[in-house]
């Protein structure tokens, strides 16, 4: 049996994860504090900022972080659509949290023209979404 057959990186069985561990509780608190300030984030941004903590918890990437947050902090953090992280309590539970909806709401709330650079700063730099996703959404909204 080769290394490839026994390599299980990218998978963490829930029986082997302690959602009550101080390290995970601290990670969830960090996400909550960021959400209070920002309103929404991406799992990629949090993983990038807390990579060492995640690796100590055997979380080896942003998708795994997203999955672990769904399983162990879903009552506080809404994570239905990767990579989006928001608070679980929302005004209208029928509205889907998508990057498109977030960008549309941001532009609507500004009530003035918004440049692509401003959208890049908000959604890519500050919130951690991919530049490609944001710019593709902007291009689709212009049609």
All structural domains of the chain with their residue ranges: 3-87, 99-142
pLDDT of residue 80: 66
**What average pLDDT does the segment 92-111 reach?**
74
- List of residues 6+ apart from 22 with CB closer than 8 A: none
3-state secondary structure of 93: coil
The model's confidence at residue 70, banded by pLDDT at 50, 70 and 90, is confident
Tokens (6 digits) for 6: 């026994």
Q: What percent of the chain has pLDDT over 70?
A: 82
pLDDT of residue 31: 93
The model's confidence at residue 9, banded by pLDDT at 50, 70 and 90, is low
Higher pLDDT, 89 or 135: 135
- Give tens-digit pLDDT for 113-129: 888 899 888 888 888 88
> Tokens 């996400």 map to which residue?
31
- Give tens-digit pLDDT for 47-60: 999 999 999 998 98
- Give tens-digit pLDDT for 39-49: 788 899 999 99
Rounded CA-CA distance 12/28 in Å is 18
């Amino acid at each position: 049996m080769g290394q490839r057959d026994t390599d299980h990186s990218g998978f963490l069985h829930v029986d082997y994860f302690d959602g009550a561990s101080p390290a995970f509780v601290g990670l969830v608190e960090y996400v909550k504090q960021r959400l209070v300030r920002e309103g929404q984030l991406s799992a990629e941004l949090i993983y990038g900022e807390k990579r060492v903590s995640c690796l100590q918890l055997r979380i080896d990437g942003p998708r795994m972080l997203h999955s672990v947050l769904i399983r162990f902090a879903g009552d506080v953090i809404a994570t239905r659509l990767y990579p989006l992280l928001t608070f679980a309590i929302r005004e209208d539970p029928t509205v889907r949290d998508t990057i498109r909806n977030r960008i549309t709401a941001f532009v609507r709330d500004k009530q003035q023209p918004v440049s692509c650079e401003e959208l890049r700063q908000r959604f890519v730099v500050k919130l951690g979404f991919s530049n490609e996703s944001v710019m593709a959404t902007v291009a689709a909204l212009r049609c």
